[in-house]
């Protein structure tokens, strides 16, 4: 297993966290995802053979590019859409 820490742009709230976590866990080989909103980082534990580029592509498609990438208006809009989906998913979860 390998640990990967990625600093991303556009991470704003718990809705963003929910979307990022649920989408990254769909990638075959990803074992766990931890998000640190304060530091804008995503930490993953995954199989050694999983290509980092695949993770970066998924984050980019959701509107959360790696902090070293260009963060244009389209990426910001994608992140707002992902954020709203995450917020809706959080609302639909049963409370413990």
Q: Crossing angle for the helix pair 52-62 and 14-24, nearest 10 degrees?
A: 140
Fold of the domain spanning 2-92: Alpha-Beta Plaits (3.30.70)
What mean pLDDT do residues 50-66 have?
Answer: 92
> Can you give the pTM of this predicted structure?
0.72
Is the pLDDT score of 70 beyond 70? no
In this prediction, residue 73 carries a pLDDT of 55
Measured distance CA(17)–CA(40) in Å, rounded: 10
Q: Please give the C-alpha separations between residue 32 and each of 26, 70, 83, in angstroms, as whole numbers.
A: 10, 27, 20
Rounded to a whole number of angstroms, the CA Rg of the chain reads 13
Angstrom distance (rounded) from CA 43 to CA 41:
6
Name the residue ranges covered by the structural domains of the chain.
Answer: 2-92
């Amino acid at each position: 297993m390998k640990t990967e820490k990625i600093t991303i742009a556009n991470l704003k709230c718990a809705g963003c966290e929910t979307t990022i976590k649920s989408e990254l866990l769909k990638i075959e080989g990803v074992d766990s995802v931890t998000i640190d909103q304060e530091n804008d980082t995503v930490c993953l534990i995954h199989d050694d053979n999983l290509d980092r580029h695949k993770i970066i592509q998924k984050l980019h498609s959701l509107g959360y590019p790696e902090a070293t990438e260009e963060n244009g208006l389209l990426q910001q809009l994608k992140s707002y859409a992902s954020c709203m989906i995450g917020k809706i998913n959080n609302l639909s979860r049963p409370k413990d």
